[in-house]
Amino acid sequence: MSEILNPDIAARLKRNDDGLFAAVVQEKSTGDVLMMAWMDDEALARTLATRKATYYSRSRQQYWVKGETSGHTQYVHEVRLDCDGDTVLLVVDQVGAACHTGTHTCFDTDVLLSAAPHE
């Protein structure tokens, strides 16, 4: 399946040397940041066309639809482009774990700094 990204959107994207840009995923119901993955133009076009979060795997060098094998799916409600054009935000309904380790979010293990009381 090959989708073509709208040229107006494609023109606004800033890609790295591999033709990729970051995709940050946020859960609609909680506001939790679930994960970060990579996309290219086709992955974004597929996501926009299907509302199924589709990413590009750098290690496998192929596209993957979140939950296609695990059942831990992401239904995409919104896709937003950041001000620099180098990151997209996907607002999703997450079913099951978002992290490949089996946790709900990739950001729930190591807290490097948390809110401190005001002095």
- Whether residue 94 is predicted with pLDDT greater than 80 in this model: the reply is yes
CA distance to 13, 27, 96, 115, per residue, from 101 (Å): 30, 18, 12, 26
Alpha-carbon 119 to chain mean position: 37
Q: What one-character-per-residue DSSP string does 2-35 give?
A: -----HHHHHH----TTS-EEEEEEETTT--EEE
How large is the C-alpha radius of gyration of the chain? 15
- Whether residue 1 is predicted with pLDDT greater than 90 in this model: the reply is no
User: Per-residue pLDDT averaged across 54-67, rounded?
Assistant: 95
- Whether residue 111 is predicted with pLDDT greater than 90 in this model: the reply is no
User: Per-residue pLDDT averaged across 101-110, rounded?
Assistant: 92
At position 93, the amino acid (one-letter code) is D
User: Per-residue pLDDT averaged across 13-26, rounded?
Assistant: 98
In the chain, domain spans: 7-94
The pTM assigned to this predicted structure is 0.92
Categorize the per-residue pLDDT at 95 as very low, low, confident or very high, splitting at 50, 70 and 90.
Answer: very high
* pLDDT for residue 44: 98
For residues 83-117, b (16+ Cβ closer than 10 Å) or e, as one string? eeeebbbbbbebeebbeeeeebbbeeeeeeeeeee
SS3 of residue 110 by DSSP: coil
User: Per-residue pLDDT averaged across 51-78, rounded?
Assistant: 96
User: What CATH number does domain 7-94 carry, 3.20.20.70, 3.10.20.810, 3.10.20.80, 3.30.2350.10?
Assistant: 3.10.20.810
